[in-house]
Chains A and B, each alone.
Chain A
């Protein structure tokens, strides 16, 4: 299994973050993990990383409903200011609105949706899709 150097979770739910982290550790999914609690925090964090020339994440797992800056706003901001084509984004959501699928097609970086909770199988699927 190909291992990610750096994965990133953007989600305000501590339970989700904890769970995903646990599963990532169990499956040896990535070497490093970044966690941001909302879109705004993620944008500033990633901007800092780019500035300092450190390693950017290969993969972002993005929640949609978050305070301060939600997932859609993050995607807009990401496309406008960061525009890092090598970062793959998966939207992670607990419920999918049919219109959300179409909306997601407008963002180049978004590969697909995965349903919460994240499981070993869904992480395996992500690895397959990217390699």
Chain B
């Protein structure tokens, strides 16, 4: 990452003053007894003052800046005891004209990637000597500035990440084809939805979600009368024993009753509350499928068994009859034909019922999705 990219990642230019950083420049100016102290940030064109003490303007050109000489030496404090005796600054605008700078000391602000953002610097209109200890003090203060900038940057990145994850989570939740909920039950048994996803609207188009949030019992008003009590029992059992809840029940819809399932996991909180995180799903097509399968297996065992046993009986007879006459054989084959026709009729019917059921389930679930 280049120095410029690194600087921009901190997003410091044109930001409002920061109290903690202002206190550091204040402190630096007191320690060095200089009227001016700055926290400077430099990109390729501007030198911007993140904090300033003793100057009115808040930025300058990079060409005029003292600090640019500190950019390539992250470990050194740049000290100019007398600008008039230093070739680099002899003809500098800030030296020749106001504020007529004679002394400069700047400690680099070094990023984690070892780039120099700018400096914490002290300046005076008269020349000055400083000790190694003072240089060290300036470096310590510069590190404090960096700590603050790094923390700010980390917080900003974290909140961006949280925002992104939150909006992603919301989008995912809202687009689920079923309803997601968070139900809170206090220790007195009072229930309240603390969250209902928009998907709830898809499976309960006739319920006002805002009303439902306040009054969870509203959901029971559309449940089949026979299913209300077992559903309530199941819920109570889940809360009491802290057990996963799964229950299938019928719900009134514009086109008659549909099968729904509630699925959830209770969690006890410190203040004896229970929170159930879960979902409501339309499982009508599963139930219909199961019923069809049950019907088919029952048909197979009951209806199909009959011709099968007849066929077995005929073969038994054929085997045991020692003197099988042509006349008898013809009679037997007549019955074989009856049985075969029965089998044929039944398997055709089974196939028809099954494919109709499949078609119905497919059209139901596509209507449900749209």
Number of A-B contacts (CB under 8 A): 54
List A contacts of B309 (CB < 8 A): 16, 94, 115-117
Residue of B whose beta carbon sits closest to that of A13: B306
| B4 at the binding interface (Cβ < 8 Å) | no
Asked if A117 and B316 make an inter-chain contact with CB atoms under 8 angstroms apart, the answer reads yes
Asked if A116 and B305 make an inter-chain contact with CB atoms under 8 angstroms apart, the answer reads yes
* Cα(A26)–Cα(B319), bound, Å: 13
Asked if A22 and B317 make an inter-chain contact with CB atoms under 8 angstroms apart, the answer reads yes
| B301 at the binding interface (Cβ < 8 Å) | yes
Which of A19, A26, A65, A115 sits near B310, CB closer than 8 Å?
Answer: A19
**Chain A 2-31: CB-based contact to B (< 8 A → 1; otherwise 0):** 000000000001111011101100100000
Asked if A118 and B305 make an inter-chain contact with CB atoms under 8 angstroms apart, the answer reads no
Asked if B320 and A18 make an inter-chain contact with CB atoms under 8 angstroms apart, the answer reads no
Residue of A whose beta carbon sits closest to that of B309: A116
Max chain A Cβ within 10 angstroms of own Cβ: one of B305, B306, B339: B306
| B296 at the binding interface (Cβ < 8 Å) | no
Min Cβ gap A59→B in Å is 19
- Which B318-358 residues have C-beta < 8 A from chain A? 320-321, 331, 335, 338-339, 342
Min Cβ gap A101→B in Å is 16
Which of B301, B321, B335 sits near A15, CB closer than 8 Å?
Answer: B335
List B contacts of A14 (CB < 8 A): 335, 338
Asked if A19 and B313 make an inter-chain contact with CB atoms under 8 angstroms apart, the answer reads yes
Interface size on B, residues (CB 8 A): 20
Asked if A94 and B308 make an inter-chain contact with CB atoms under 8 angstroms apart, the answer reads yes
Asked if A117 and B320 make an inter-chain contact with CB atoms under 8 angstroms apart, the answer reads no
Residue of B whose beta carbon sits closest to that of A19: B313
| A125 at the binding interface (Cβ < 8 Å) | no
Residue of B whose beta carbon sits closest to that of A117: B313
List B contacts of A119 (CB < 8 A): 313, 316
Size class of the A contact interface (CB-based, 8 Å):
10 to 19
| B314 at the binding interface (Cβ < 8 Å) | yes
Max chain A Cβ within 10 angstroms of own Cβ: one of B301, B305, B342: B305
| B302 at the binding interface (Cβ < 8 Å) | yes
Min Cβ gap A129→B in Å is 21
| A81 at the binding interface (Cβ < 8 Å) | no
Asked if A23 and B302 make an inter-chain contact with CB atoms under 8 angstroms apart, the answer reads no
Known interface pairs A14-B338, A116-B309, A120-B320. Does A95 touch B301 (Cβ–Cβ under 8 Å)? yes
List B contacts of A15 (CB < 8 A): 307, 310, 313-314, 335, 338-339, 342
List B contacts of A23 (CB < 8 A): 313, 317
- Which A98-118 residues have C-beta < 8 A from chain B? 115-118
| B312 at the binding interface (Cβ < 8 Å) | yes
Nearest first, the 9 A-B pairs at minimum CB distance are: A117-B313, A94-B305, A116-B309, A15-B310, A19-B313, A95-B305, A117-B309, A94-B309, A94-B306
Sample (20) of A-B pairs whose CB atoms are under 8 Å apart: A14-B338, A15-B310, A15-B335, A16-B310, A16-B313, A18-B331, A18-B335, A19-B310, A19-B317, A19-B335, A26-B320, A94-B302, A94-B306, A94-B309, A95-B302, A116-B309, A117-B309, A117-B316, A119-B313, A119-B316
* Given A15-B313, A26-B320, 7 other A-B residues pairs in contact with their CB atoms under 8 A: A15-B342, A23-B313, A94-B302, A95-B301, A116-B305, A117-B310, A117-B312
